[in-house]
Amino acid sequence: DCQFLISPSIIAGDMTNLENEVKRAALARSDFIHLDVMDGMFVPNKTFDHEKIKQLRSITPIPFDTHLMINEPIKYVKDYVDAGSDIITVHVEVCDESSFGEIHDILRSNSVSVGLAINPDTELPLWSEKFIPDLDQLIIMSVIPGKSGQKYIESTHEKTQRIVKFLSERKFEGLIEADGGVDLTNVECCFLDGARVFVGGSAIMGQKDVRTTIIEFRKKLMH
Ligand code: DX5
Ligand code: ZN
């Protein structure tokens, strides 16, 4: 299939005016809006929390793709549901079979899409296998999470291809999201690896003309 989705990350814009960043992404007709939540513990930086997302929710109906880079996501996931997230992704590094099972059930019963994320040096843990057929999204991080503007880690291409093969043998029906250092020079490679959702921080929200940039991304992906 040739479907793909663009999910601009607003933290790469003006962090002091996230309302305006959401407007910029919406006016540029992005498919999703990627919201990087950092708690200062799972990663060194802090960004914003569910209260901010609730404020941003009224600006646009474009789906909110909430990426939780936080410890103990089970404690907070309902807050992010109530704030209006459409997809919520939690990291395997801070979950186990029991807590992710609970997170999965909370998301499903609230019609929120279910995502798992893995860091560059992490593989899918054994416990995650039973959830694979029921995952909507897998984020494969191509930078060490914590900030935007880092360089894409080249070995992620092979890792993604390997995981895509692994998942296709296990009834995965979700989408792979490439997150970290994705830009106009590598987005086509990421698509060929098997990714279908592309986060764009500095390469999209860091640009003056977000609309033209997204059009350029789409051109790279349309064959
Ligand atoms: C990294 C975040 C990414 C990041 C993307 O910690 O999860 O979503 O903001 O920004 P770029 O595209 O600049 O790497
Ligand atoms: Zn992210």
Residue nearest to atom 4 of ligand 1 (CA): 148
CATH number at residue 103: 3.20.20.70
Range of the domain at 172: 5-221
What is the position in ligand 1's atom list of the atom closest to the CA of 204? 12
Q: What is the 3-state secondary structure of 23-56? A: HHHHHCCCCCEEEEEEECCCCCCECCCHHHHHHH
- What pLDDT is recorded for position 79? 98
Where residue 146 falls (left for φ over 0; alpha for ψ -120 to 50; beta otherwise) is: left
Span from the CA of 170 to the centroid of ligand 2 (angstroms) = 25
Instruction: Give CA–CA dist 181/179, Å, rounded.
Output: 7
What is the position in ligand 1's atom list of the atom closest to the CA of 11? 9
Tokens 């503007």 belong to 149
Which pair of tokens denotes residue 134? 């029921």
Q: Which of 146, 135, 116 is nearest to 12 (CA)?
A: 146
- What pLDDT is recorded for position 223? 74
Candidates 7, 32, 36: which one to mutate for ligand 1, based on the most atoms within 8 Å of Cβ? 36
- What pLDDT is recorded for position 74? 98
| pTM (predicted TM-score) | 0.98
Write out the chain's pLDDT in tens, 223 residues.
459 999 999 999 999 999 999 999 999 999 999 999 999 999 999 999 999 999 999 999 999 999 999 999 999 999 999 999 999 999 999 999 999 999 999 999 999 999 999 999 999 999 999 999 999 999 999 999 999 999 999 999 999 999 999 999 999 999 999 999 999 999 999 999 999 999 999 999 999 999 999 999 999 999 7
Span from the CA of 197 to the centroid of ligand 1 (angstroms) = 13
How many domains does the chain contain in total? 1
Q: Which of 142, 161, 139 is nearest to 153 (CA)?
A: 142
Burial grade of 15 (CB within 10 A; 0-12, 13-18, 19 or more): exposed
Task: Check if 199 has its Cβ closer than 6 Å to any atom of ligand 1.
Answer: yes
Instruction: Give CA–CA dist 194/178, Å, rounded.
Output: 9
